Amino acid sequence: MRRVLSHDAVFIILVLLPIIVLVTLFIYYPAASTFQTSLTSENLRIRRPAEFIGLKNYNFLLHDAEFWEVTRRSLVVVLLTLPLEMLIGFLVALLLNERFPGRGIVRTLVILPWMMPPVVNGFLWGWLLNGEYGALNGFLYELGLINQYRYWLRAPETQIVWVAVVQTWTRFAFPMIILLAGLQSIPDELYDAAKVDGAGVWARLRAVTFPLLLPSFAVALVIEFTTTFQIFDVVWTLTSSGGAGGTINPFTKTLMIFNYELVFRDLRIGRGAALSYIILLMSLAVGMIVVWRIYRQGIRE
């Protein structure tokens, strides 16, 4: 009888089988089940069996003013956060790419905010920004920059800005790590050659660093876009309004908060599942554009 599979092939299949089973059980099966639910009218408040309604949930959301409002708000958070996060991450990566005493300690300190749970960061900044006893007020007051304490989180316009600040503080270390790895992979010979040609610091950055860092930049950008677009923890802990347990703040309601509201507050499981898929598709679309344009260009460079 002819042997169909070689020993190596069988070994590979056996080694991969557990992870395939786990991924199928914990990722693909729930994803498929969620999609199926999104095609139904499932609502846990209504004691009627859920009915198949096709794409009605998607149609409702795409014609819902609130959906577009929260999408706009999520994009605002991204536009406020991403440039700041990538810039700070890049500058810190440049700094940590140089050798100096205590570099290891600085590197550890810099990633501390990222290591802390976002929920903790949200609560921490909530205390810092408190209008009665917050450290920010105390600090600015002592410096003479303000003459009375302010409620930093009171105005709707500033709430979303502070969300962006806290998200930047929480996440900048991640792109920093990726960009630092990218910087360290650039051969020193290229910089030496550029110096020989008379290129200054800015010229070396423009001609050597930026082009070769594009693939790393693209990876960091995609991951950070997805994370920030789907922001939840910081918004919830920093800006949920009064009442024990927190009430959704309409001025900082982003897509994931809206999703939480649909599923856990309103118990509209079918509609919430549809929203999950819309969020997934929007995140994928951006990811694909970034990969297609920036990453490929970086590879060419």
242 touching other proteins, by CB under 8 A: yes
Q: Binding string to other proteins for residues 269 to 288, with x set by CB under 8 A, is what?
A: x-------------------
Site for other proteins in 109-138 (CB under 8 A): 126, 130-132
Q: Binding string to other proteins for residues 139 to 178, with x set by CB under 8 A, is what?
A: ------------xxxxxx----------------------
Cα separation of 293 and 244, whole Å?
47
Closer CB to other proteins, 138 or 156, in the complex: 156
250 touching other proteins, by CB under 8 A: yes
Contacting residue, 241, 284, 288, 293, with other proteins by CB under 8 A? 241
Q: Minimum distance from CB of 195 to other proteins (Å)? A: 53
Contacting residue, 7, 14, 243, 300, with other proteins by CB under 8 A? 243
Closer CB to other proteins, 213 or 262, in the complex: 262
Q: Binding string to other proteins for residues 48 to 87, with x set by CB under 8 A, is what?
A: ----------------------------------------
Closer CB to other proteins, 127 or 292, in the complex: 127
For other proteins, the binding residues (CB under 8 A) are 44-47, 126, 130-132, 151-156, 240-251, 261, 264-267, 269
